[in-house]
A and B are shown apart, each in its own frame.
Chain A
Amino acid sequence: MDIFLQQIINGLVLGSIYALIALGYTMVYGVLGIINFAHGEVLMIGAMVSLSLLRLMLDLTSGLPTWLILLIVLPFTMAVCAGVSYAIERIAYRPLRNAPRLAPLISAIGMSILLQTIAMMIWSRNPMTYPQLLPSSPIDVWGSGATITGKEIVIIVVALMVMSGLLFLVEKTKLGRAMRATAENTQIAALMGVNPNRVISITFMLGGALAGLAGVMIASNYGNVHFYMGFIPGLKAFTAAVLGGIGNLQGAMLGGLLLGLIESLGAGYIGELTGGVFGSNYQDIFAFLVLILVLVFRPTGLLGEKVSDRA
């Protein structure tokens, strides 16, 4: 039974990271009705920037507790990522808002390649190790044999806190109301005194900041960073957003957690279920299978509204 519990824990860690990234997709989709293809790269930039900042801090200050260093580095990283995300919107999306549908998709792919290449030039072509600043010694969970590390607890807790903060922001504040109004109908929101461009920029920045946080989490969870690390998590988070119902915040959170669990349980049991024909190296396939199944059977996602005809 401990394998089951262990996979649940792994799934929750993975899932809360996916949820953070999925929120970025879903928020942007909400206000603009487009899928931000370059979102995964923001995550990668977050991991890279935080690596540089961490190295700098570790060099400059000795003796500072590691959690404090992380706490100082995080806001900077998230700010940089918000800036990158803002730039993506300004360069690749805003000038093409009235262009044919294909145009922003292609410019976003260009942006994604550009960001990867820039990261490759600034940092490295090769994977780099990421300093371990949080306790990573396994703690036994209720004597069951399944383990969780301090790092993993922090990831889950921080993700949950940030997500509830975001929900509060969107549901209860004036800015959130403007965002919801823009999502509902940009033109009417503009008539009501909302500046849609400002709201769209802020939405991108919020999504970017969350992706930056997720990037730091992924980097500390796996212990290394590389310039193409944003691609697969980005793809999976997109799946999570679709699973939950794209455009819906709670949906993205639910979808992220579910996808994390599906993946981790799937990877844990696929070997047993298929008699060893497929191993855990097929882990990446689950997300795509989920995506295709959702699109076939419930294209609106678990909590979503109708999406098919917003062309």
Chain B
Amino acid sequence: MLKVIAFNRLSQTAYLCLGLLALILLPWLVGFTGGNYWVRVLDFALLYIVLALGLNVVVGFAGLLDLGYIAFYALGAYSFALLASPHLPQQFESVAAVFPEGMHFSPWMVAVFSIILAALFGIILGLPTLQLRGDYLAIVTLGFGEIIRIFMNNLDRPLNLTNGPKGITAIDPIQFLGISFAKPLDLGFVQIPGLYLVFYLFLLLAIAVAIICTHLQNSRIGRAWVAIREDEIAAKAMGINTRNMKLLAFAIGASFAGVAGVLFSAFQGFVSPESFTLWESIVILAMVVLGGIGHIPGVILGAVVLAVFPEVLRAIVQPLQNVIFGHVLIDAEVIRQLIYGLALILIMLYRPGGIWQKSGTK
């Protein structure tokens, strides 16, 4: 008996090590077979995992529908874009005077800043709405997402803060312990391309967020969220401060998006309002719902599937149509949208727990 347990534990560790090794080798494998384009896709998939896990705290754990989630991502992205690009010093002489060598805040500092900023905005938004019905929250967050986008689009005059629809360019790349992720890292025996470094960094972040989420779920807070989600009045009767607990979920979800936003803008080197439309919020929601609402492995699966799937679609469907019909009959984009819409409906109708749902739930 003891032997079996020991063996199980051993094999668990072995699996974990094997999994990690596979993840470490993944960018090399993908890079050799598919080229850098697909490594980039992987990087974005990891970023989406962070976003989906963050939204899962709000939607999955606490049962609050947030349709403006991307706004917090935008806050993070624009914070870094403004604090680590030549845009502000170019526009304002006073800023240039304070930062004669240009503004180059470290992404980690900005990440901390945007955690606070996003959480703050989450609380401001949640306070009036969280004591009302869930539907109101959905609409207000949707409206908030639009407001943020309208501001980003229009704050280029009279003072040019966001550079309007053109967006902000020349944002500093990610730096970690003095290593710039924009160029390959030379280890002597091997050169690690920047895209691969970004992959490892995002992987670390995604793992960290997943661990935080797991701990949250199993904590007193997580149980309070479940109670609120299942029956708010009963939860209140059990002495849970429902408003504060909901606010907490909202703020935590928002802060994950804030961090992801900072890394996004540092990775892209460019941000514009176009990256933060309602559609993006819906994509992330689809990841959570499709994968398995409230179930962390499911959400991760959902994020990976929906992040990689459109690219595969683009790579396969367009050439396939070219071969069959001689031209592109239906755009990959349209097919993707169609599938997202159908998936949201069908999953809700037939498998409300998502494709990889928690065992024991129906």
Contacts and interface: CB of A to CB of B under 8 A. Distances in A.
- Give the contact-size bracket for chain A: 35 or more
A288 B144 contact: yes
B153 to A, nearest CB: 8
B47 interface: no
Contact of A102 (B59, B139, B150, B154): B59
Nearest to A288: B143
A4 interface: no
Interface stretch (B8-16, B107-115, B212-220, B340-348): B340-348
A120 B154 contact: no
Interface in B126-171: 128-129, 131-136, 138-140, 142-144, 146-147, 150, 153-154, 158
B143 A105 contact: no
A311 to B, nearest CB: 6
Given A296-B128, A308-B131, A109 B344 contact: yes
Q: Is the interface of A mostly helix, strand, loop or mixed?
A: helix
Interface string B347-362: 0110010000000000
Contact of A299 (B132, B338, B349): B132
B132 A307 contact: yes
Interface residues of B, number: 45
Contacts of A114: 338, 341-342, 345
Given A102-B134, A231-B278, A110 B128 contact: no
A119 to B, nearest CB: 11
Interface stretch (A51-59, A151-159, A278-286): A278-286
B67 to A, nearest CB: 8
Given A102-B63, A284-B146, A287-B143, A113 B348 contact: no
A105 B352 contact: no
Contacts of A107: 344-345, 348-349
A295 B345 contact: no
A291 B139 contact: yes
A238 interface: yes
A224 to B, nearest CB: 20
B341 A117 contact: yes
A95 B349 contact: yes
Interface in B204-254: 232-233
A191 interface: no
Contacts of B2: none
A288 B129 contact: no
Contacts of B132: 295, 299, 307-308
A91 B345 CA distance: 8
Contacts of B133: 307-308, 310-311
A49 B322 CA distance: 31
Contacts of B343: 110
A111 B158 contact: no
A243 interface: no
A190 to B, nearest CB: 24
Contacts of B63: 100-102
A272 B195 CA distance: 49
Contacts of A69: none
A295 B343 CA distance: 32
Nearest to A238: B139
Given A96-B349, A282-B150, A291 B143 contact: yes
B348 A110 contact: yes
A105 B135 contact: yes
B344 A110 contact: yes
Nearest to A307: B133
B41 interface: no
Contacts of B158: 276-277
Interface in A89-135: 91-92, 95-96, 99-107, 109-118, 120-121
Interface string B327-342: 0001000100110111
Contacts of B153: 281
A235 interface: yes
A99 B334 contact: no
Contact of B139 (A103, A235, A279, A284): A235
A292 B125 CA distance: 9
B136 A295 contact: yes
A279 B146 CA distance: 17
Nearest to B288: A106
A146 interface: no
A295 B348 contact: no
A113 B142 contact: no
B154 A282 contact: yes
Given A113-B282, A121-B334, A106 B344 contact: yes
B300 interface: no
A35 interface: yes
B135 A288 contact: no
A202 interface: no
Contacts of A106: 65, 285, 289, 344, 348
A160 interface: no
11 contacts: A99-B352, A102-B59, A105-B65, A113-B344, A238-B139, A239-B143, A288-B146, A307-B133, A308-B133, A309-B233, A311-B232
Interface of B: 59, 63, 65, 67, 128-129, 131-136, 138-140, 142-144, 146-147, 150, 153-154, 158, 232-233, 278, 282, 285, 289, 293, 330, 334, 337-338, 340-346, 348-349, 352
Given A296-B128, A311-B134, 12 more contacts: A91-B345, A92-B345, A103-B348, A103-B352, A105-B65, A113-B337, A288-B140, A292-B129, A299-B132, A307-B132, A308-B132, A308-B133
Minimum-distance CB pairs A-B, first 3: A110-B344, A114-B341, A113-B341
